[in-house]
Amino acid sequence: MHKIGGYIGRSVFGAILLVLFLVIVLDAIAAIIDQLGDLRGDYTFYQSLLYVLLTIPGSVYDYMPLSALVGCMIAMGSLSSSSELTVLRVSGVSVSRLVWFACKPALWLIVFSVLVSEYVSPYTERWAQSHKGILMWGDERTLASRGGLWHREGNTFMHFNVVQAGGILHGVTLFEFDDHGAMKQSTFASRASYLSGNWLLERGSITIFLNNSISSKPFHTKKWEPELTPKLLRYLAVEAEDLSLTGLFEYARYLEQQELDDGAYRLAFWQKCFHPLAVFSLVLIALSFVFGPLRTATMGFRVFIGVVIGIAFQFAQNLLGPSSLIYGFPPIYGVLLPILICGLVGFTLLYRAR
């Protein structure tokens, strides 16, 4: 029985890795083409290749559900087409045992993808974004119209062209408003650094709006005291879906304290929490189809059905998740509903195939 489990496990493991590799390669090619429109300044084609390479760990996490679904269909479907599964079942191996043999390698890959999303992709994504921003915008005395980051703290709106690791900002613009929504002053600094618990703005100017008059004065250095810290800026520098679980929780709590909308970060938090369950539910769907409706189907048809189901699942999550932010129901429901439906369908079909 151990040899049978190892044989099935290797088949499923290899198929999932092959599908994951092919999907990531196609995604990387599309990303390189997309980056061609951003080439400017020191951001050359070779720098864009480095940028795409650094975003691959995040792609491993994103495409694991689809790869697990299609990979399981390919591996188990191949065993079914060659009548190996039939021989095993006739020999007394139950469907539940075969399902467990196929799920074991998928579970290991789920653990691997979770570790990548927690300890690798947040750092590579952050470095990729900051490196690209420095090459494209640097300390330009304008807002990066196609890049940069916006943030609000109280009545102050902030824009940073580039957020660099270690508490360094490039191209800092601050807009301060009064309680009636009128702008009091704007500040620009080429650079800001975090030293000894304080921010220091460097090489900038302040424009003051007072009594229908405008005055401006330059400064070499100026102290700046927001509640924003380099640790929080690490979370701001990347998209919510690219943050780790701890980063999502901490930044969502900070936004809540500032009375800002934290819905996108709460949603991303629940999506990451239930990501292993999402992959497992798709694996169940794949196995239930192999033992049930697609038992005699061709390999090409199985792959087609797997891609369709994977896209439909992703579409459902992308639709229900943001809908929770619009209509006000808890994001956890929007995340869990597609997972529960897939899991229920998978368990039902497998039960009938026993």
CA–CA distance, 19 with 28 (Å, rounded to integer): 14
CA–CA distance, 302 with 271 (Å, rounded to integer): 27
Is pLDDT above 70 for 142?
no
Is pLDDT above 90 for 245?
no
Q: Residue 143: what pLDDT?
A: 59
CA–CA distance, 313 with 346 (Å, rounded to integer): 13
Token readout for 205 is: 């100017």
CA-CA-CA-CA torsion sign (316, 317, 321, 324): positive
Q: Nearest 5°: CA angle at 257, between 253 and 262?
A: 55
Q: Where are the domains of the chain?
A: 2-119+265-352, 144-239
Q: How far is CA 224 from CA 69, 157, 229, in A?
A: 51, 14, 11
Instruction: Tell me which residue has tokens 């794949």.
Output: 286
Portion of the chain with pLDDT greater than 90, in percent: 24
pLDDT, tens digit, 9 for 90 and up, residues 295-330: 666 777 777 888 888 888 888 888 888 888 888 888
Q: Are 309 and 250 in contact (CB under 8 A)?
A: no
- Rank 91-100, 182-191, 254-263 by mean pLDDT and report only the highest: 182-191
Is pLDDT above 80 for 60?
yes
Q: Residue 12: what pLDDT?
A: 92
CA 228: distance to chain centroid? 23
Is pLDDT above 80 for 193?
yes
Cβ count near 329 (within 10 Å): 12
What's the average model confidence in pLDDT over 38-43?
Answer: 81
Q: pTM here?
A: 0.83
Q: How far is CA 233 from CA 104, 149, 194, 249, 330, in A?
A: 38, 10, 11, 14, 27
What's the average model confidence in pLDDT over 208-230?
Answer: 86
Q: Residue 1: what pLDDT?
A: 66
Q: Are 313 and 282 in contact (CB under 8 A)?
A: yes
Q: Residue 42: what pLDDT?
A: 80
Q: Residue 339: what pLDDT?
A: 92
